[in-house]
Amino acid sequence: MQVLLLSFLASLFATLVIIRYQHLHSHLTGDHALEGAQKFHAHAVPRVGGLGVALGLGCAAVLLLFKHDHTVTIYLYLLIAACPAFLGGLIEDISKHGGIIIRLGLTMISALLGYFFLDASLIRLDIPWIDPMLSLWPIALLLTILAVAGVANAINIIDGFNGLASMVSIMILGAMAYVSHLLGDHFLWNACISTIGCLLGFFVWNFPRGLIFLGDSGAYLIGFLIGEIAVLLVARHPEVSAWFPLLVVIYPVFETIFSIYRKRFLRGMSPAVPDGLHLHMLVFKRLVRWAAGHSGSLRSANAATSPYLWLLCSFSVIPAVLFWNNTLVLMAMTAAFCSVYVHLYWRIVNFRKPRLLKKRITQ
């Protein structure tokens, strides 16, 4: 637990310093765009929370080095592999002109480094007619790169409200940490709990007041680590179902897939163009704002939105933890979650609020 505590304190303090001295760097790091589909702040807010997360991970590596932990070498390889993904997001955070192609490209390079440094490869999906093809390394490499970059981009997509992406990531990593502990995988355990500690340090300042944002650097760094750990869990442990990590990350991943479908085929627009019709945006506009009425502020409504999505995420994380080695159950739960998501989305978009949510928001 020393790794968890140190990464938490390092991230907490680093993020505090960024907030306290934002007047010195706001011209570079501040989010000055006050209008847009997911803009709720009234003044510039630092969007480089990823720096605090990165520093916390670095401090965890130093601690492992001083403790002569046998996992420190592979842990350092993981952080080295994460650098392109982190830097791609940081370029966007500072320049505001990086573009999604650059971020995805650098994240793919990170996945490529993970493939060679960590042997992080999708060697099976537990689907009989697909698994034989994964024995061919070019196919395995391509799918690994696409999967890891996809998860990283998915975490970035849900990063729209205070505490949303960070807490969802904590829940996902907590599930992976639990299974890693059961399997006695000390490296993956350290990777999970150090990242959780960093996110908790950031979360203190981000939720509920939104004093700092995770930014693309933080979202892509965390998303890459989640994707990489997911691949490594399956690659290193044949007893873990390949559907365990998929169910754990299904909320952000399916949000991305559904968003691409909705934009491309229903609205006839580019999937890269942001809009205000993600599920978390609809929960904000048609449930939380409706419940608060005209008296509620945007900041309080922003903070009140994330817990609804935390609850939704728990519907996939909890069964994944319970049935981490049962492929058939995990498949069924993945299909059930996707069905619930689509049903919930269309009920909200058509102003038919589910009874459970009606009761919760009127209490």
pLDDT, tens only, 152-188: 999 999 998 999 999 999 999 999 999 999 999 999 9
Q: Are 361 and 295 in contact (CB under 8 A)?
A: no
pLDDT at 68 over 70: yes
The per-residue pLDDT for 354 is 53
Distance CA 7, CA 58 (A): 8
Q: How many domains does the chain have?
A: 1
**Domain interval for residue 41:** 2-362
Quick one: average pLDDT of 29-39?
60
SS3 327: helix
108-161 pLDDT, tens digit each? 999 999 999 999 999 999 999 999 999 999 999 999 999 999 999 999 999 989
The per-residue pLDDT for 277 is 86
Question: Which tokens sit at 115?
Answer: 């493939």
pLDDT at 59 over 80: yes
The per-residue pLDDT for 271 is 82
Nearest-CA neighbor of 178 among 229, 224, 144?
229
86-101 pLDDT, tens digit each? 999 999 999 887 788 9
pLDDT at 49 over 60: yes
| 307: Cα separation from own chain's centroid | 15
Name the band, by pLDDT with cuts 50, 70 and 90, for residue 361. Answer: very low
Question: pLDDT averaged over the chain?
Answer: 90
The per-residue pLDDT for 340 is 95
The per-residue pLDDT for 296 is 54
Q: Are 144 and 122 in contact (CB under 8 A)?
A: yes
| 198: Cα separation from own chain's centroid | 13
pLDDT at 58 over 90: yes
pLDDT at 37 over 90: no
pLDDT at 293 over 60: no
Largest CA distance in the chain: 60
pLDDT at 358 over 60: no
Token look-up 């691949």 returns: 231
**Range from 82-91, 278-287, 352-361 that averages highest in pLDDT:** 82-91
| 332: Cα separation from own chain's centroid | 23
Distance CA 57, CA 190 (A): 10
Strand 30-31, strand 45-46: pairing:
antiparallel
Q: Between 273 and 133, whose confidence is greater?
A: 133
Q: Are 76 and 63 in contact (CB under 8 A)?
A: no
Question: Which tokens sit at 143?
Answer: 């799918």
203-232 pLDDT, tens digit each? 999 998 899 999 999 999 999 999 999 999
Return the sign of the alpha-carbon dihedral for residues 183, 189, 193, 196: negative
**Range from 147-151, 271-275, 304-308, 346-350 that averages highest in pLDDT:** 147-151
pTM: 0.92
Expressed in angstroms, the distance from the first to the final Cα of the chain is 38
